[in-house]
Structure 1
Amino acid sequence: MKWLWPVLLVALIALPWWGSDILLQFGIDALLLATLAQSWNILGGYTGYASFGQSAFYGLGAYGVAIAMVQLNLPFVAGMALGVVFCVVFALLIGVPVLRLKGHYFAIATLGLAQVAGAIVSNIGFAGANIGLVLPMLNNNLLFYETALGLLAAATATVWWLSRSRFGYGLIAIRENEGAAAVMGINTTLYKVLAFVIAGVFAGLAGGVHAYWITFLDPAGAFDLTLNVKMIIMTVFGGPGTVFGPVVGAFLLSAISEVLAAKVTSIAALFFGVVIVLAVVAMPRGLADLRRRIARLGLGYFADNIRRNKL
């Protein structure tokens, strides 16, 4: 199966030359969602902190681009840099107190981050307040596709590095047993905050690309909580704590959701809820672990997971 990833990479690179405009637009959206899934994977998959606040960083990155381009007349690259600054500052300010919480307390605390950030932006006139900002239009889907693909490649390379680095091993140790990791000499607070910052930066960059692509931004769209639910489902479905699992989950679920939305809208609205229930109950480690387990246990893999969940 080692040949599969180079083939997929070549197909993604070549898509603008063989795909239609509609497929290209779908590709941009899927690549950005995959980047968001990878950003959540850094914190939720490797560090073990299930964050519901990644959409806050997505919105901050988007507003960094919008403010730079609309209010300051700066280029897109400068807007992306400003968005990164917003995300890093926000992560450092919020990360230390929030990451002291664990389990469902941490999840609940992060759930309010997007709402807090949205409420702040809504009251800043320079950021467009509740009305929002209209960005300059750039009719160049190829550029956005290549940018989104490069961003996903950077996020995946970062996750690959984490899976093999001392820093990544420290995050995994925190996920498995934070107390034991601290006893072993790992600065758990520093590691968690750094993971929070890295995850936030990639989410913010994805938000910046999306803002310029759709050319309009308001607090409701920028800090959408359902976006955070999507990235979690995609990561869990593909395989949290793995390098390529979130990417596979994002592509597959995006494609299925797009088909359902075109055929039966009412079913598409329920799709992600059904997926997360089935994934957690029947294959809690995602598709990345499914092939190996099925080869060894057969269908008993699903039965064993269902039995463990007492269903």
Structure 2
Amino acid sequence: MKARYAALVVVAGLLLAAVPWLGSDVLTQFGISALLLAVLAQGWNIIGGYTGYASFGNSVFYGLGSYGVGIAMVQWQQPFAVGLAFGVLMAVVFAVVLGLPVLRLRGHYFAIATLALAQVMIAIVSNIGLAGRNIGLVLPPLNNDPLFYELSLGLLALTTLCVFWLAHSRFGFGLIAIRENEEGAAVMGVNTTLYKVMAFALSGVFSALAGGIHAYWITFLDPESAFDISLNVKMIIMAVLGGSGTVLGPIVGAFTLSALSEVLASEITSLASLFFGLVIVVAVVFMPRGLADVLRRSRKAGWRYFIENIRAHRL
């Protein structure tokens, strides 16, 4: 069974890698957006799915990665790789410095605290001359969508391999223990503060890398778009829909919602947001543990799986 799933993953990876060479330019551009959203969902999965801390601060990591590339390339005339490294460094420092006090909060207190971080960063960056203030930065153009597609796909593969390692490592078991019972995990010898900060920083690394790639791809960034809180909401929804706390769930959720959003936006633009929200609500009610759980359990339980979820929500 595991060999069959591994073979399916390899085949899917090869098909995705062939998109820029076999598909249209529009499909390639859509693929870049979907792959980067999948990376963000996987990054959030580390802190939200495995550690159990619903972070609304990952959009800050994304913005720091974007500005790392922008500042390095525009202000310092450094190559793209240096910008990526600078963005990752800022994200890790931010995660450690802010994570130590903020990760002492739990539940909705933690969510509210991280929710405010994006607005704070918008205000700060808007007043920094090196970051272009409110005007933003214009990066040197590179008209090479296949390159950005392969970079995005490679980053998604790296992020997924990291999540797979988490799911089978002692560190990952420690994060799951924190998610299930933090006090119990501490009693069992887990350094909960260290584990949470490391998970927060690891989540920030992948979010920053995605932000850096996206910034160079679109060649422009400003504080409002770089630290957009709605992007954080998207990563949470995609991870939860696909199945947070699983290896492939966030990827399935990201691809599904990206495709659905694209279809709705092109076919019924005026009601796209309404239908998109309705689909999300229905999905959460009928399959609260995500599509990964549906694929795993519905084959045995059939329609009873969905009926049990409806009863659980007292509908």
Partner of 1:235: 239
Offset at residue 308 of structure 1 (A): 1.3
Partner of 2:31: 27
Offset at residue 278 of structure 1 (A): 2.1
Pairing of 1:46-57 with structure 2 (within 5 A) = 46-57=50-61
Match of 2:133, as an amino acid? Answer: A
Offset at residue 52 of structure 1 (A): 1.1
Contact 1:233/1:275, CA 8 A, preserved across alignment: no
Offset at residue 130 of structure 1 (A): 0.5
Contact 1:233/1:272, CA 8 A, preserved across alignment: no
Percent of counterpart pairs with the same letter?
69
In 2, the alpha carbon distance for the partners of 1:221 and 1:103 equals: 27
Comparing 297-306 and 78-87, the one that deviates more:
297-306
Pairing of 1:1-311 with structure 2 (within 5 A) = 2=5, 3-311=7-315
- Mark the CA change 1:272 to 1:225 in structure 2 (over 3 Å): closer, same or farther: farther
Offset at residue 296 of structure 1 (A): 2.4
In 1, the alpha carbon distance for the partners of 2:295 and 2:91 equals: 37
Unaligned runs of 5+ in 2: none
In 2, the alpha carbon distance for the partners of 1:238 and 1:212 equals: 28
- Mark the CA change 1:155 to 1:268 in structure 2 (over 3 Å): closer, same or farther: same
- TM-score w.r.t. structure 2 length? 0.97
Partner deviation per Cα, 1:100-144 (whole Å, 9 max, x = no partner): 111111111111111111111011011000010000000011111
Offset at residue 32 of structure 1 (A): 0.3
In 2, the alpha carbon distance for the partners of 1:211 and 1:140 equals: 14
**Structure 1 ranges of 4+ moved more than 2 A:** 270-276
SS in 2 for 1:262: helix
Contact 2:264/2:276, CA 8 A, preserved across alignment: no
Match of 1:253, as an amino acid? Answer: L
Partner deviation per Cα, 1:161-185 (whole Å, 9 max, x = no partner): 0000000000000001111000000
Contact 2:44/2:236, CA 8 A, preserved across alignment: yes
SS in 2 for 1:57: helix
Offset at residue 274 of structure 1 (A): 2.3
- TM-score w.r.t. structure 1 length? 0.98
Offset at residue 306 of structure 1 (A): 1.7
Aligned length: 311
Offset at residue 271 of structure 1 (A): 4.0
SS in 2 for 1:112: helix
In 2, the alpha carbon distance for the partners of 1:176 and 1:166 equals: 15
Contact 1:236/1:279, CA 8 A, preserved across alignment: no
Comparing 277-286 and 16-25, the one that deviates more:
277-286
Comparing 268-277 and 152-161, the one that deviates more:
268-277
Contact 1:80/1:205, CA 8 A, preserved across alignment: yes
In 2, the alpha carbon distance for the partners of 1:189 and 1:297 equals: 40
In 1, the alpha carbon distance for the partners of 2:95 and 2:256 equals: 30
Offset at residue 88 of structure 1 (A): 0.6
In 1, the alpha carbon distance for the partners of 2:64 and 2:279 equals: 29
Contact 2:174/2:195, CA 8 A, preserved across alignment: yes
Partner deviation per Cα, 1:270-295 (whole Å, 9 max, x = no partner): 34422332232211110111022212
Match of 1:283, as an amino acid? Answer: M
Match of 2:312, as an amino acid? Answer: R
Offset at residue 240 of structure 1 (A): 0.5
In 1, the alpha carbon distance for the partners of 2:236 and 2:280 equals: 9
